[in-house]
Amino acid sequence: MNEAHGHDEASGVKRRRYVPDCGTSTHKFLSYAAAIQTRKFYRPGRESAGERRSYAVCEDFGAHQPRCLQRCGLVVERRPLVRYGLGVDLYFKGLKVVILAFAVLSALAAPSIVAFHTGARETAAERDARLSYDPLKVLFYNTLGAWGESAHVCGDVAEGGVLALECPAGTEIVDVFAYYGAPSGFCTCPEDHQVGSDGTCPGDVKSADACEDERPCFAGATDLGDTCCARGVKGDAPDLDADVNPRPNATCDSHTAPFIVQGLCLGAENCTLPVDVDARFRWTPRGEHTSCGGSAFERGGGCAASFGGHGTFDRCPERRLVAVAFCARSKLSVLLCGNQHWFGWS
């Protein structure tokens, strides 16, 4: 704050006075102009022509230098920010070291990232199609996980039939979803939802989230990766959950079916089981995803349950079992020869 000394003629006493910009000794107020001047005076910067200016973006704030080179006089460590405190000085120097380290690591990792991206199991067309509606998937394609061979198998069997899930040779079931009762959805895209030979959907777009005459008009990808058309939009993607993707039915759904199928099929190359509401299935829990599903289904260290053992079956005109399994290699050969493997691939 700028100050000035004045003289009171009545008392003959010198009093401290303040310039009008900041008020008087009995009446003070904040001044925008004074705040700007104070900030210019104290903020970090360099003085030029009697005025303090901010540091440039590419200003050299010095860097950590080896002590041996400093002792030999080969380098001189610059510390222009040390007058603002040791923490500020070390922060910018450390930041420069981190940037340099990550630049070196990025250069070293670039060849492997390119190899992972170009060697992905999917074709370039499939990769581009998936990235068009899920751009963050590019992070997956730049990792070793993109090399794994995977596939999905789906079974849709009515009551009285037999469900058979078979993975390609050399792969096993690493994840499976099952719905018994009257689930919605299908294993493949229904005929009235399929994309035509010209790449367009059968319906016409009415608005940003609706179609004309309820005919599907928004092209997207199902949970199984097939191209299919939806009647609406959920968020930023076509909504295929209502008509195409397999989903449970709240009025006719078995609560034990997911645990039964997971307990019998996870980790197997193929899985076969009868679709019968009264059939009794037994399995041994091997982890969180092969549990019994509750203490009521635990039997002597194992699990035992049936599709009709627990669930909601208020309206079940026709019962069926829909199961979707994802297959992948349990180990990935990194070298073309020898016995070097990466375990735990799932």
Q: pLDDT digit string (tens) for 102-132?
A: 999 999 999 988 888 777 766 676 667 566 6
Alpha-carbon gap, residue 209 to 227, rounded angstroms: 18
Same domain assignment for residues 165 and 301: yes
pLDDT at 162 over 70: yes
Report the pLDDT averaged over residues 33-39.
73
**Domain containing residue 258:** 152-183+248-346
Q: Do 297 and 157 reside in the same domain of the chain?
A: yes
Q: Name the domain count of the chain.
A: 4
Average pLDDT over residues 82-104: 86
Contact 6, 14 (CB under 8 A): yes
Are residues 286 and 198 located together in one domain of the fold? no
pLDDT at 179 over 90: yes
Read off the pLDDT band of 323 (50, 70, 90). Answer: very high
At residue 327, what are phi and psi to the nearest 5 degrees?
Answer: -110, 140
> So what's the pLDDT on residue 45?
75
Instruction: Tell me the backbone φ, ψ of residue 279, rounded to 5 degrees.
Output: -65, 140
pTM over 0.75: no
Does some domain include residue 163? yes
If asked whether residues 179 and 192 sit together in one domain, one would say no
pLDDT of residue 102: 94
Residue 266 and residue 235 share a domain: no
- Regarding whether 36 and 178 lie in a shared domain, the answer is no
Same domain, 238 and 327: no
Q: How many CB atoms lie within 10 A of CB 20?
A: 9
Per-residue pLDDT band for 170 (boundaries 50, 70, 90) equals confident
Mean pLDDT of 95-102: 89
Share of the chain above pLDDT 70, in %: 78
**Average pLDDT in the chain:** 78
* Higher per-residue confidence, 44 vs 11: 44
Q: Looking at the structure, do residues 292 and 256 belong to the same domain, yes or no?
A: yes
pLDDT at 256 over 70: yes
Please, are residues 283 and 303 in contact by the beta-carbon 8 Å criterion? yes
pLDDT value of position 5: 46
